[in-house]
Structure 1
Amino acid sequence: MKRLIANRLFGWLPAGVRERTLRRLLVVWAVALAIALILWGTGARTHPLDIALVYSYAISTAIWFLSDPLRIGLRGWLGVSAPHYWKPSLRMLAYMVLSSTAGYALGTAVGDAYAGRSTWDMVHQSPLRLLGFWVSGLVISGFFVLGFYQRAKADDLRRQATEARLKLLETQLEPHMLFNTLANLRALIATDPPRAIQMLDRLNDYLRATLRGSRTDAAAGTHTLADECARLNDYLELMAVRMGPRLAFGFELPPDLQACPVPPLLLQPLVENAIRHGLEPRVDGGRIDVRARRDGQRLTLEVADTGVGMNPDAIQAPRDGGFGLAQVRERVASLTDGNGRIEIDSRPGAGTTIRLTLPLNHTEPA
């Protein structure tokens, strides 16, 4: 809902700042309410509360609009860029002074129209008082801008730390997958050299495609759910060389979810676990299905296998020491600020389904 409102109100701004702009507006309105109540209470209530509210909200909203979203809209002229759209310069200082002055004048005009009087009569009656109002407006605007800027910087630092953490987890997962594959290849060399050669060719193709995809992801800054499923398909094709008819697999990826960005290698550790702990112990193997669906404002991803399943103790303490599942848990927590969820549904002999639930506002393109 918040994202929809932000897109409706601020569709003319860059997508990445719309929700933050809406949050800042709500903060300004909360402070405007407090200011109106304080001025009304300390002014011996000589004016009706509704007039105090109109003046406070009109002035605060006008100053905010000119100094915040309009500043971002004029980013080219001001020479500022993402993520903060701010830099110390004479042009920026002049703009902030002018926007605060114009916002104060515009908001005052709205209040005067509502109250049926003219604040500008104070120019003759009490010019120092009018000057004090104007200066206080500039000071309050400056505090707002400084506070919002510092908060944006802190959010950006947290985002960079999260991205670095996710990147570290990816570097841990990639060799984990490769070592497992090489161990499987070594076993095939001793038992079935022709299939080992075929598997080695598949591994070569898989690594080439993965490297190419990683470079593309790094350049674009995204990795879509379709990309994730494509690499999972390559990996499962690779495993099918070793397991033969004992491995079957399928994907259910609705077209409207293919462009959702997810971290690379998010699902692969779950697929590896399904093969290693679910299908390989079965003489006749089994099937793995990877599914994606939308549940309201949440994205649900499932990796389901028809393997041997797990008992309750194994669910709490996975048999591979928990590396793959633990990494997935940590990446989901980092990606969604704790709003993601992982569920395991498994019974001995009845297969295992691992379900990831992510907020769509963390996964959909901005």
Structure 2
Amino acid sequence: MITSAANAPRYSRLRRFAIDIAITQVFNLIIAVLITYVVRGHGSFFVNLIFSICIGTLATSFIDGGRLIMWGELKPPKWKFIALIIVSLPAAQFMGKALAALTLGIPREALSAMRSGNTTAMLIGGGVCSMFIIWFFWSREHIEYLRAEAEAEKARAASIEKQALQAQLQMLQAQIEPHMLFNTLANLQGLIAIDPLRAQHMLDQLIQYLRATLSASRAEKTTLAQEFTLLDAYLGLMKVRMGARLSYKLELPEALRPLAIPPMLLQPLVENAIKHGLEPKVEGGLITVRAEREDGRLKLTVCDTGLGLDGAPESDGTGIGVDNVRERLRALYGTRAEFSLNPNTPEGVIAQLTISL
């Protein structure tokens, strides 16, 4: 595996070099056609094609091979690359003609005679070949440069968007704890005078809960197992406050325990159910938190038997709980997540999150 990873850049260079050589052969064919049938130079099409292939292939090998050896996949320095082309073209012309003559079995004297009698065709062929090579490599490097710039700009935009999203999520997440702490401390203040022992027990539960949530509430991800553990601690704290008026059930299948979700996603809904549904109800009620998988989607449900959507008193708060969940789902999942708030039967509210996995 290590050897394969180390050779990956080399194989990438060889693949690109092979593609460039293949493209060069197409232009070699065009140049041979031009010299034979347009310029009407001496020699048959086959002879001109061999000369074109030898010169063009060597030119591409010198220029493209040199570039890949010296600079790899990076954009080469402009003037150094131009110098490489200037040096490579005459060398390719000289060596390519010699190689073609050797391949065709043309004696040196005949080759010299062919050169002197076919000067115009040679000049035109060499000029066309040179122009093509310069244009090909220059335009391709320019395109590669523009592509790299576009990718860099796309990466910068993605980074900025991610930073903005993280800032938004941190702001939304930070709203949860003050909301919960305000309600708990207000109740704790009232209990201190009338029931010190119960107040002490509530304070102990609050400390335990805050210790459990200190790291989780600042993390980007948590698991359903950790989330349900925090909910158990939170509901235990609320049960100290409400006594027998509060009952709760947590239903988490073993297979879903390691599943990753955003932290503190369900706690605002549980708090909302207690504050607006169960706490104002004289006899209290039951709250059930359930996780299940259905058709490749994760369903998280917070169900209560409280006063319901119509029976709950008007809130004196800011509606942080439900709005927070909606905003976080929209920021994290977009259209892949849904949130619904519906009446329960015979009474209460069902809050449900559905996330495509």
Unaligned stretches of 5+ residues in structure 2: 31-51, 57-95, 97-124
Give the CA deviation at 1:340: 2.5
Tell me, yes or no, if the aligned pair for 2:276 and 2:315 is still in contact at 8 Å.
Answer: no
Matches within 5 A, 1:1-366: 102-108=14-20, 121=53, 123=56, 126-214=129-217, 218=219, 222-311=221-310, 320-346=317-343, 350-360=347-357
SS at match of 1:138: helix
Structure 1 residues 173 and 213: alpha-carbon distance in aligned structure 2, compared to 1, 3 A threshold: closer
Amino acid at match of 1:233: D
Unaligned stretches of 5+ residues in structure 1: 1-11, 13-69, 79-94, 361-366
Deviations 1:217-245 (A, max 9, x none): 65xx5322222211111000111112222
Larger Rg: 2
SS at match of 1:350: coil
Tell me, yes or no, if the aligned pair for 2:303 and 2:344 is still in contact at 8 Å.
Answer: no
Name 2:59's counterpart in structure 1: none
Distance in 2, matches of 1:177 and 1:305, equals 18
Tell me, yes or no, if the aligned pair for 2:216 and 2:263 is still in contact at 8 Å.
Answer: no
Distance in 1, matches of 2:202 and 2:336, equals 39
Amino acid at match of 1:180: N
Structure 1 residues 196 and 318: alpha-carbon distance in aligned structure 2, compared to 1, 3 A threshold: closer
Structure 1 residues 299 and 287: alpha-carbon distance in aligned structure 2, compared to 1, 3 A threshold: same
Tell me, yes or no, if the aligned pair for 1:309 and 1:346 is still in contact at 8 Å.
Answer: yes
* Matched residue count: 262
Amino acid at match of 2:199: A
Give the CA deviation at 1:161: 0.9
Tell me, yes or no, if the aligned pair for 1:308 and 1:348 is still in contact at 8 Å.
Answer: no
Distance in 2, matches of 1:102 and 1:138, equals 17
Distance in 1, matches of 2:247 and 2:274, equals 11
Q: Percent identity?
A: 41
SS at match of 1:311: helix
Distance in 2, matches of 1:110 and 1:266, equals 56
**Which segment is superposed worse, 176-185 or 328-337?**
328-337
Distance in 2, matches of 1:348 and 1:300, equals 19
Give the CA deviation at 1:348: 8.4
Structure 1 residues 145 and 103: alpha-carbon distance in aligned structure 2, compared to 1, 3 A threshold: farther
Tell me, yes or no, if the aligned pair for 1:100 and 1:138 is still in contact at 8 Å.
Answer: no
Deviations 1:196-228 (A, max 9, x none): 2211111122122222545xx65xx53222222
Deviations 1:110-166 (A, max 9, x none): 7799x9x98982606524313422332222222222211210111111111111111
Structure 1 residues 318 and 179: alpha-carbon distance in aligned structure 2, compared to 1, 3 A threshold: closer
SS at match of 1:337: helix
SS at match of 2:339: strand
Tell me, yes or no, if the aligned pair for 1:104 and 1:137 is still in contact at 8 Å.
Answer: no
Distance in 1, matches of 2:244 and 2:21, equals 78
Amino acid at match of 1:150: E
Tell me, yes or no, if the aligned pair for 2:305 and 2:344 is still in contact at 8 Å.
Answer: no
Let me know the Cα RMSD of the aligned residues: 3.5
Structure 1 residues 136 and 255: alpha-carbon distance in aligned structure 2, compared to 1, 3 A threshold: farther
SS at match of 1:284: coil
Give the CA deviation at 1:275: 0.8
User: Structure 2 length normalisation: TM-score?
Assistant: 0.63
Distance in 2, matches of 1:242 and 1:213, equals 24
Give the CA deviation at 1:292: 1.8
SS at match of 1:266: coil
Distance in 2, matches of 1:111 and 1:286, equals 76
Distance in 1, matches of 2:271 and 2:284, equals 14
Tell me, yes or no, if the aligned pair for 1:225 and 1:260 is still in contact at 8 Å.
Answer: yes
Tell me, yes or no, if the aligned pair for 1:310 and 1:347 is still in contact at 8 Å.
Answer: no
Structure 1 residues 207 and 158: alpha-carbon distance in aligned structure 2, compared to 1, 3 A threshold: same
Name 2:120's counterpart in structure 1: none
SS at match of 1:158: helix
